[in-house]
Amino acid sequence: MEIKSNIYFKIGQPSTGKSFGFAYENLKDNDFFTDFNETQYKLIPVSGGIGNEYKGLQNTDLAISYDVINETLKLGDFLKMLMLAIKNPEKQYVVFLDDFHNQDISSLLSEYTPLFKAQQKVDLTNFVKAENTQDLDVEKFDSTSDFIDKWNVFIETLRKKDGVSIVPITNRLSGEDIKLVYPANFYLFGAANFNEKTVNIFADWADRAYIESIDPIKLMKDFKKIKEINDNDFVDCVVKINEELQMILEEHGIYDYEKYCFGIWKLVDEKGNVETDDKKQKKLIIFLLGMIKNALIYNNKNSLINEIGTELLTHMKDDKFFKLTDTELEDKKTLHKYGIYES
């Protein structure tokens, strides 16, 4: 996978392999990252929704927080990785926000918006000296105030360097600002599904990140070529569903079909082999049609679900996995049976 930018987000339908290239095992083997180990990588799953408000990425991950159980202060994982990158410019540090569609990323990272401007990114290799950071134990510190004071003095030594912009963020526990810079060796990656939180990423992050929308149809065709799958009725059927859906969407004046079509990964096992059990194949097809329905809901196309569903089943009626009669196509129960019905 080519690393397109220091801030790189992939957005697409479920099962399109968005997270795959951002996993530690894949980055470790990527020629772009050198001498890369687990201490330089942090995966933060972004949970959300009712009952999960306090799981995954929270404001406490982004700043200094209080650990109630151990009665100690700690750096949030996101902030810690950023500070380590500043302190150790010869190493590469990665934070991967997985499933960030569960929260409003623009709001959650709002304090860092002023920092991550492309023109403020700076290579600190020739600016940061080991002797200036020996007292800055980012992994562990005793006094918050003492640590922040030392940290800010260290950051101030960079102020006189050409091209180094310092941006403070507020530590809500003490009110003291923590001064930061945007180091060229810090990478923020993210993967998200299309939904109401990611359909329109605010302009501030669109300006700061390389945002890639995954094309599911291209992904499927590439998968067939790589795996040399030519005579597999199940795969052919699934690809056809996507292709027919694209045509139907365009007839309705919907051209961003990547938000509605789906990916290949639900069709294969952990080794990349295609599902061969006939009953499981049929269940998967119903599951995929349900994903199309959810995509229409996320994109505020609820009123079109039954119409598009009927057209799609009509296009697929002669396929061996459907075999639908005209009478069945006229019955709304058929839409419900295939998981693409809106009451």
Q: At what angle do helices 233-251 and 305-316 cross, to 10 degrees?
A: 140
pLDDT digits (tens, 9 = 90+) for 185-241: 999 999 988 776 776 677 778 889 999 988 888 877 777 666 666 668 888 898 899
Whether the predicted pLDDT of 57 surpasses 80: no
Over the chain, what is the mean pLDDT? 84
Give the pLDDT confidence of 242-299 residue by residue, as tens digits.
999 999 999 999 998 888 888 777 777 667 678 888 898 999 999 999 989 988 998 8
Among 16-30, 130-144, 158-172, 203-217, name the one with the lowest average pLDDT. 130-144
Q: What are phi and psi of 272, to 5 degrees?
A: 85, 10
Residue 130 φ/ψ, nearest 5 degrees: -55, -35
Q: What is the per-residue pLDDT for 199?
A: 67
Q: Which is higher by pLDDT, 61 or 299?
A: 299
> What distance in Å separates the CA atoms of residue 134 and residue 74, rounded to the nearest whole number?
19
Domains and CATH numbers, the chain: 7-212 (3.40.50), 216-337 (no CATH)
Model confidence at 107, pLDDT cuts 50, 70, 90, reads confident
**Average pLDDT for residues 102-130, to the nearest whole number?**
85
Residue that has been written with the tokens 């996995």 in this structure: 321
pLDDT band per the 50, 70, 90 thresholds, residue 49: low
Which helix (H) or strand (E) segment is 59 a member of?
A: helix 59-62
pLDDT at residue number 227? 63
- CA angle, residues 20, 47, 74, in degrees to nearest 5: 100
- Tell me the C-alpha to C-alpha distance, in Å, between residue 341 and each of 48, 289, 337: 26, 10, 8
What pLDDT does residue 136 have?
82
Per-residue pLDDT reduced to its tens digit, 19-33: 888 999 999 999 999
Q: Specify the pTM.
A: 0.81
For 123-176, strand residue ranges (E) read 167-170
Measured distance CA(238)–CA(253) in Å, rounded:
23
**pLDDT > 60? residue 16:** yes
Tell me the Ramachandran region of residue 127: left when phi exceeds 0, alpha when psi lies from -120 to 50, beta otherwise: alpha
Our CA angle for 227, 233, 239, nearest 5°, is: 70
pLDDT score of 334 more than 80: yes
Per-residue pLDDT for 53 more than 50? no
The whole-number pLDDT of residue 171 equals 65
Structure tokens at 233: 């009725």
